Amino acid sequence: KAGVTQTPRYLIKTRGQQVTLSCSPISGHRSVSWYQQTPGQGLQFLFEYFSETQRNKGNFPGRFSGRQFSNSRSEMNVSTLELGDSALYLCASSPTTGTGELFFGEGSRLTVL
């Protein structure tokens, strides 16, 4: 069974640009969560989608947005990039029911210059 797949793995952008990251969950998983990881703040929750609906959102500015498609694949977008947005962005998927265990992808490392 394939794991959570994130693309691209690495990308470099400049301030003011926007970026879109993609996440394909484990087959059959309908919940997708996004996290930002930085050396200073650690792992912070961005948002969670289930059946194309955002169910939960962390404390991030509106520049951070996401969506989920009917096949459960999810994208997150960051507009007007700032230097502080440089981070590892991790996606996790979870089964519809059960213990709530999360399965993470390898992440997308974003560098903003």
Q: Does 60 bind other proteins (CB under 8 A)?
A: no
* Of the residues 14, 38, 51, 56, which one makes contact with other proteins according to CB under 8 A: 56
Cα 92 from chain centroid (whole Å): 8
CA angle 61, 20, 33 (to 5 degrees): 65
68 touches other proteins by CB under 8 A: no
| Min CB(48)–other proteins separation in Å | 4
Q: Which of 11, 13, 30, 50 binds other proteins (CB under 8 A)?
A: 50
Closer residue to other proteins, CB minimum distance, 15 or 55: 55
Give the residues lining the site for other proteins (CB under 8 A).
4, 6, 31-33, 35, 42-45, 48, 50, 55-56, 58, 90, 92, 94, 99-107, 109
